[in-house]
Amino acid sequence: MSDDEAPPRYAIQIILTETAARPLDNWANAAEGASVPTTGWHITLIPAFTLQGVDATLNERLQAVADRHALFELELSEIEATTDSTRAGYHAVFLGCGPDAEDLCLPLYALQAELAETLAPLRSNLQPELGDRPFRPHITLALSVSEQEAARLAAFGRKQQLRVRFEVASFWLLKSSETEEGEVKTERQQFVLAGANAADQAAPDSLP
Q: What is the DSSP string of 3-15?
A: TTSPPPEEEEEEE
- Give the Å distances, CA to CA, from 194 to 72, 87, 134, 139, 202: 10, 37, 26, 24, 16
Task: State yes or no: pLDDT of 202 exceeds 80.
Answer: no
pLDDT in tens, 12-31: 999 999 999 999 999 999 99
Question: How would DSSP label each residue in 93-160?
Answer: EEEE--GGGHHHHHHHHHHHHHHHHHHGGGEEES-HHHHTSPP--EEEEEEEE-HHHHHHHHHHHHHT
Residue 96 CA, distance from chain mean position: 12
User: What b/e sequence results for 71-110 when a residue is b if at least 16 CB atoms lie within 10 Å of its CB, and e otherwise?
Assistant: bbebbbbbbbbeebeeeeebbbbbbbbbeebeebbebbee
CATH of 9-195, one of 3.90.1140.10, 3.40.50.300, 3.40.462.10, 3.20.20.100: 3.90.1140.10
Residue 65 CA, distance from chain mean position: 17
What local confidence, expressed as pLDDT, does residue 206 receive? 45
Q: What's the mean pLDDT in 124-142?
A: 79
pLDDT in tens, 91-127: 999 999 987 777 889 999 999 999 999 999 999 887 6
pLDDT in tens, 174-189: 999 987 777 889 999 9
Question: pLDDT above 90 covers what percent of the chain?
Answer: 68
pLDDT in tens, 34-54: 878 887 899 999 999 999 999
What local confidence, expressed as pLDDT, does residue 86 receive? 79
**DSSP, res 200:** G
What local confidence, expressed as pLDDT, does residue 198 receive? 67
Whether the CB-CB separation of 157 and 23 falls below 8 Å is answered with no
What local confidence, expressed as pLDDT, does residue 208 receive? 41
